[in-house]
Amino acid sequence: MNIEKLAGSGRKIGRLTMPFLIAGVILNIYFPDFFSVNGPSAAVWNASLGLTLTGIVIWIWTVALILIKVPRNQLITSGPYRLVKHPLYTCIGLIVLPFAGLLFDTWLGIPIGMTVYLGSRLYAPEEEQIMAKTFGKSWSEYEKRVLLPWI
């Protein structure tokens, strides 16, 4: 199994995000009051828990599809891929990190999640060119069908 093929742009996104994540965690440890959301209200906490769990389920579903289909050179167009072209990056950047941060009483998940998402936007075109070369017409048809192609 080719790990680089499975990882897609993940390594590049990880390299971009890691300094922000490390700095954020260190700063949050030393200056917790600055990053606190003052103990999210019960409604925000409950919504954050629901969204974080939903995001984790979508992430697991996406990873499972990648592990099953990528080694077989199959284009993934079902499940979360029906909604967005890059559900793994989108889910982690826009759902899991921001709302998990709120669960832990910090707003740092929001900028770190946005860094993941912006990294995915930066590196997605390269990944999409590879998909277009690999899958040709199937990729073009998929791009037309995906519900939110810009995410």
Mean pLDDT by 10 residues, the chain (151 residues): 68 93 94 91 94 96 93 93 94 96 94 95 91 94 91 73
Contact 17, 101 (CB under 8 A): no
Residue among 91, 62, 89, 90 at smallest CA distance from 77? 62
pTM of the model: 0.87
What pLDDT score was predicted for residue 39? Answer: 86
In a domain, residue 137? The reply is yes
What pLDDT score was predicted for residue 150? Answer: 74
What pLDDT score was predicted for residue 10? Answer: 86
In a domain, residue 14? The reply is no
Residue 111 structural domain? 40-145
Question: What is the sign of the dihedral through the CA atoms of 128, 129, 131 and 135?
Answer: positive
What pLDDT score was predicted for residue 121? Answer: 93
What pLDDT score was predicted for residue 3? Answer: 61
In a domain, residue 24? The reply is no
